[in-house]
Amino acid sequence: MTSDIAAILAIDGIATGAVYALVAIGTVLIFTVTRVIFIPFGDIAAFTALTLAALDAKRFPGTGALVVILACLATLIEIISMVRSGELRLLPRALLFYLALPLAVVGLAWLAMRAEPPLAVRLVLALMLITPIAPLLDRIVFRPIADGTVLLLLTVSVALHFALVGLGLLFFGPEGVRTEPLTSLSTELAGVLISGQTMLIVIAALVFSGLLYLFFDFTLVGKSLRATAVNRTGSRLMGIRPARAGTIAYLLGSLMAGVSGILIAPVNTVFYDSGFLIGLKAFVGAIVGGMTSYPGAAIGAVGVGLLESFASFESSALKDVIVFSLLIPILIWRSLASLHSDEEIEE
């Protein structure tokens, strides 16, 4: 391997890693706030790419129908749980958040489609269509078992992923898509050509993680999310509703996943089931950060991207085997690191 090839591989790895980093940060966000290891984030990323591709092709994406179905389901469940607990007075609010808002988003996207909007608007539309999915899934799938063990939540999360892959095929079809690059610029750095798309990916990753940092440190909502992550009961006593914090976390997380989907779509061909590997690799990155640290997750995800890039140079068939085998030593290291603190907590 010459240094040229190594440089190309490194740049490629960093770009892929930056995409994983966005998803990884979302995964950590959800885990700390709700204790759910949300495997389907990769699917959200893939669905965004597919949505954008459909918009580019002037077709109304299947995401619209998916959101409508999920919204109806979520509303139904919300109403049933309200009837059971005798809190029907909250009905208008539920209808607004679980039915009207998602439907409005779909309706808006449908209207905007008629006007043949430019690329920038299509990007916004794709993100708008994708963001309601995770919060609605949260209401339907995870809210009823919010008090369950991490393992139960994980099992449900894995099952949910399989359901989403099936829905993906149903709503988007089996064809893979590759969207047009967001920029055709390119630059040369130390003799290596770097495409504008690569730079865009890295910049977007930095910008969005920076925004998240500002959100957590300088807004009250951000702080309430952090409080929920540290102690659910304690923050509930301070008037923070964990369910609401969870919804916000899912919204933010799926926004991050959506951005990563838009960024990866021009680089890799995305299929309805591409999300699983994106999600799992991001997840490997998140584990490097111990599932609690955002910078740790981002660094871990970039590490996974680099590893994958170099591994695929050595053996493209076995790159996934290598990445997942490497997860085991990482898990052992993390478990040892956290075991120590566990024992001290027991005192």
Binding footprint of another protein on the chain (CB under 8 A): 37, 141, 144-145, 150-152, 154-156, 158-160, 162-163, 165-167, 169-170, 280, 284, 287, 317-318, 320-321, 324-325, 327-328, 331-332, 334-335, 338-339, 342-344, 347
Least distance from another protein to the Cβ atom of residue 190, Å: 35
Residue 347 DSSP SS3: coil
User: Which residue do the tokens 């339907």 mark?
Assistant: 140
**Residue 73 or 192 with smaller CB distance to another protein:** 73
Least distance from another protein to the Cβ atom of residue 287, Å: 7
CA–CA gap between residue 286 and residue 293 (Å, rounded): 8
- The alpha carbons of the chain give a radius of gyration, in whole angstroms, of 20
**Residue 110 or 324 with smaller CB distance to another protein:** 324
User: Is the distance from CB of 265 to CB of 52 less than 8 angstroms?
Assistant: yes
Q: Which token pair is 83?
A: 């009837």
C-alpha dihedral sign at 116, 173, 157, 23:
negative
**Residue 171 or 310 with smaller CB distance to another protein:** 171
C-alpha dihedral sign at 232, 343, 331, 297:
positive
Least distance from another protein to the Cβ atom of residue 61, Å: 18
Least distance from another protein to the Cβ atom of residue 268, Å: 18
**Residue 60 or 162 with smaller CB distance to another protein:** 162
**Backbone phi and psi for residue 194, each to the nearest 5 degrees, phi listed first:** -115, 125
**Residue 10 or 79 with smaller CB distance to another protein:** 79
**Residue 76 or 321 with smaller CB distance to another protein:** 321
Least distance from another protein to the Cβ atom of residue 266, Å: 26
CA–CA gap between residue 4 and residue 316 (Å, rounded): 19
CA–CA gap between residue 249 and residue 27 (Å, rounded): 10
DSSP for 180-222? PPS---EEEETTEEEEHHHHHHHHHHHHHHHHHHHHHHH-HHH
Least distance from another protein to the Cβ atom of residue 197, Å: 28
Q: Residue 183: which of 269, 122, 268, 266 has the closest Cα?
A: 266
Least distance from another protein to the Cβ atom of residue 251, Å: 22
CA–CA gap between residue 170 and residue 272 (Å, rounded): 9
User: Is the distance from CB of 56 to CB of 122 less than 8 angstroms?
Assistant: yes
Vertex 324, ends 33 and 258: CA angle to 5°?
45
Instruction: Please give the DSSP secondary-structure letter assigned to residue 346.
Output: T
Least distance from another protein to the Cβ atom of residue 194, Å: 31
**Residue 115 or 317 with smaller CB distance to another protein:** 317
**Residue 237 or 336 with smaller CB distance to another protein:** 336
